[in-house]
Amino acid sequence: MRQAGRYLPEFRETRAAQDFFSTCRSPEACCELTLQPLRRFPLDAAIIFSDILVVPQALGMEVTMVPGKGPSFPEPLREERDLERLRDPATVASELGYVFQAITLTRQRLAGRVPLIGFAGAPWTLMTYMVEGGSSSTMAQAKRWLYQRPQASHQLLRILTDALVPYLVGQVAAGAQALQLFESHAGHLGPQLFNKFALPYIRDVAKRVKARLQESGLAPVPMIIFAKDGHFALEELAQAGYEVVGLDWTVAPEKARERVGKTVTLQGNLDPCALYASEEEIGRLVQQMLNDFGPQRYIANLGHGLYPDMDPEHVGAFVDAVHRYSRLLRQN
């Protein structure tokens, strides 16, 4: 899900040299961090090293990464009039040229070994950080906006959508061969709020990115939507214009398949904490997962990102087990 990460000693070594967002702004550093997991593990794709919060930064908000705490916005959006501080979303792609350079450099270095995946955060998830000023267990301030300032909320979500479309198209133009949209905070919304404030923008991103790629003469790329804890919206997500729906570990694969139908690809969904288990147990859990999903229209993955204290050997055991059991499944 997030390949380059704090669980790799070589990642920590590379990252120690500069602060987080300086690393994000260095195409050479991003390329190196993207390639590190591939040197260790026979992964089937690479995910560009970046962060979803480069978009609010490009809109003019200050974001810092506080060690041990996570992202922090010293001046979050508090009032409706704060939206006037945001830059024109049309300028965002030009602010994020460093991401495009990192993608192009990484594509060149990969030399066709595996495809390269680009990504962005979905509008609602980005809004939560911009309003909360960082991580939150309840998203109460962001949800307060939805209930007290629905019009301003829609205005902000539109600004974010308008920024995301050229950003994602720019990633493809730079060399990304698939795109993943992360609605990491879907679970804080029930079905009603999700259908009103998240889903329309998720749909809009896919529709407009695909149209823009076509207008630009660029080949279409598969798009993946991952809505963490958004199990209440699986059917809607399957019809939102994405080729792949990512699942977290709280969803039973067979039930998910029943609900989304046969035409959409599913991705997921091993509990990342399963990597704390023994290598034998990881093998057993992977076998069960692959049996549950079946061999068609399926990308094996974790159900969320890896944690810093995970043993790289166990990540390797997961990757090897996926390849081993996939071959067995196909033979049978």
Q: How large is the average pLDDT for residues 32-58?
A: 97
Which of residues 168 and 5 earns the better pLDDT score? 168
The 10s digit of each residue's pLDDT in 87-136 is 999 999 999 999 999 999 999 999 999 999 999 999 999 999 999 999 99
The 10s digit of each residue's pLDDT in 223-280 is 999 999 999 999 999 999 999 999 999 999 999 999 999 999 999 999 999 999 999 9
Q: How confident is the model at residue 4 (pLDDT cuts 50, 70, 90)?
A: confident
pLDDT at 280: 98
Whether 61 has a pLDDT exceeding 80, the answer reads: yes
Whether 167 has a pLDDT exceeding 90, the answer reads: yes
Instruction: Give the catalytic positions in this structure.
Output: 2, 6, 15, 51, 129
Whether 78 has a pLDDT exceeding 90, the answer reads: yes
pLDDT averaged over every residue in the chain: 97
Q: How confident is the model at residue 196 (pLDDT cuts 50, 70, 90)?
A: very high
Q: Residue 9, Cβ neighbours under 10 Å: how many?
A: 10
pLDDT at 285: 98
pLDDT at 5: 85
Q: How confident is the model at residue 1 (pLDDT cuts 50, 70, 90)?
A: confident
The 10s digit of each residue's pLDDT in 14-37 is 999 899 999 999 999 999 999 999
The proportion of the chain whose per-residue pLDDT surpasses 70, expressed as a percent, equals 100
Half-sphere exposure of 132 (CA within 13 A, CB side): 19
- Output the 3-class SS for the chain: CCCCCCCCHHHHHHHCCCCHHHHHCCHHHHHHHHHHHHHHCCCCCEECCCCCCHHHHHCCCCCEEECCCEEECCCCCCCHHHHHHCCCHHHHHHHCHHHHHHHHHHHHHHCCCCCEEEEEECHHHHHHHHHHCECCCCCHHHHHHHHHCHHHHHHHHHHHHHHHHHHHHHHHHHCCCEEEEEECCHHHCCHHHHHHHHHHHHHHHHHHHHHHHHHCCCCCCCEEEEECCCHHHHHHHHCCCCCEEECCCCCCHHHHHHHHCCCCEEEEEECHHHHHCCHHHHHHHHHHHHHHHCCCCEEEEECCCCCCCCCHHHHHHHHHHHHHHHHHHHHC
pLDDT at 6: 87
Q: How large is the average pLDDT for residues 26-51?
A: 97
Q: How confident is the model at residue 145 (pLDDT cuts 50, 70, 90)?
A: very high
pLDDT at 67: 87
pLDDT at 332: 86
pLDDT at 99: 98
Q: How confident is the model at residue 40 (pLDDT cuts 50, 70, 90)?
A: very high
pLDDT at 136: 96
Hey, what CATH topology would domain 9-246 get? TIM Barrel (3.20.20)
